[in-house]
Copies of this chain bind each other. A is one copy, B any other.
Amino acid sequence: MKDRLLVIKVGGNIIDDEKKLSSFLKSFSSVKSHKILVHGGGKIATDIGNKLGIESKYINGRRITDDETIDLVTMVYGGLINKKIVAQLQSFNCNAIGLTGADGNIIPATKRVVKDVDFGWAGDIDNSKVQNQNLKALINNDFVPVFASLTHDEHGHILNTNADTIASSLAVALSINYDVRLIYCFERKGVLENIDDNNSVINLINKEKYKQLLDEQKLFAGILPKIDNAFAAIDAGVKEVLIGDANDLIQNTTGNTIGTLITQ
């Protein structure tokens, strides 16, 4: 039987709020299981970038990571945010170790090929190349890996990679070794039947239920890519995906979840 592993992704809305972050990290620390945290960037990088005169550039809503920007996110995600999270987790007796995908070559990636748009130093992951043995060595030695949303190209360059994607790739790669629950913390209680009612959480979505919900056109359009990604992770070996509120983390690691559990 495989050990259980939680891969938990926390986003910008929590990172940007000192109190919420501290409360979330306290909950995270108290969860008794093998676990990995993946964090996004929040507004801090944009704020520091503005002060440094580095303009945020977007094409079709997607960030362009030029030379200045990759240095900025390497500093802010990989340094400031990551190490502050590690120091706080350590204060809660959680043996955190702060990493990027470059560390231990855990997440090698490929610089996105230029077609119509040059995204710059953006990294795409091939899940089969994730070095799960190196990551497993850390977990088996009771470290709790905390990943900033950065990878590398194996030729000396750091790459910027979406935090949701990193969480999913780690979950898939480690599903060979562990029973993985991938948890996406977001700003709602879960997938809602009625977008205006935070109490209308759909507790369980399997493929059959998803088809039914799509037929009934009940779901908020913005949630569809998240659910599609969840099923992609499940098809690649992840046992279950949970989408829920960061405040409900502890309950969402149990059998009695508050958020939306997505399974085969």
Q: Chain A contact residues: over half helix, strand or loop, or mixed?
A: helix
Check if B80 sits within 8 Å of A102, measured CB to CB: no
User: Which of the candidate stretches A68-76, A198-206, A231-239, A251-259 sits at the interface with the other chain?
Assistant: A68-76
Identical subunits present: 2
The verdict on A158 contacting chain B, using a C-beta distance below 8 Å, is yes
Interface centre among A79, A137, A143 (most CB of B within 10 A): A79
Contact with B along A46-87 (1 / 0, CB 8 A): 001001110000000000000000010011111110111011
Out of B75, B88, B153, which one reaches A80, CB within 8 Å?
Answer: B75
Complex CA–CA separation, A42 to B115 (angstroms): 38
Closest to A106 in B: B97
Check if A74 sits within 8 Å of B83, measured CB to CB: yes
Check if B152 sits within 8 Å of A141, measured CB to CB: no
Check if A87 sits within 8 Å of B51, measured CB to CB: no
The verdict on A98 contacting chain B, using a C-beta distance below 8 Å, is yes
How many A residues face the partner with a CB closer than 8 A? Answer: 43
Check if B103 sits within 8 Å of A96, measured CB to CB: yes
Check if B74 sits within 8 Å of A80, measured CB to CB: yes
Complex CA–CA separation, A20 to B96 (angstroms): 33
Check if B75 sits within 8 Å of A102, measured CB to CB: no
The verdict on A33 contacting chain B, using a C-beta distance below 8 Å, is no
With both chains docked as a complex, state the minimum distance between the C-beta of A85 and any C-beta of chain B, in angstroms: 10
Check if B91 sits within 8 Å of A84, measured CB to CB: no
With both chains docked as a complex, state the minimum distance between the C-beta of A100 and any C-beta of chain B, in angstroms: 6
Contact with B along A90-106 (1 / 0, CB 8 A): 11000111111011110
Residues of B within 8 A of A71 (CB): 80
The verdict on A156 contacting chain B, using a C-beta distance below 8 Å, is yes
The verdict on A150 contacting chain B, using a C-beta distance below 8 Å, is yes
Residues of B within 8 A of A134 (CB): 95, 141, 143
With both chains docked as a complex, state the minimum distance between the C-beta of A170 and any C-beta of chain B, in angstroms: 16
Out of B52, B78, B155, which one reaches A48, CB within 8 Å?
Answer: B52
Complex CA–CA separation, A141 to B106 (angstroms): 13
Residues of B within 8 A of A105 (CB): 90, 95
Residues of B within 8 A of A137 (CB): 141, 143
Residues of B within 8 A of A156 (CB): 87-88, 90-91
The verdict on A154 contacting chain B, using a C-beta distance below 8 Å, is yes
Check if A97 sits within 8 Å of B87, measured CB to CB: no
Out of B77, B87, B102, which one reaches A102, CB within 8 Å?
Answer: B87
The verdict on A211 contacting chain B, using a C-beta distance below 8 Å, is no
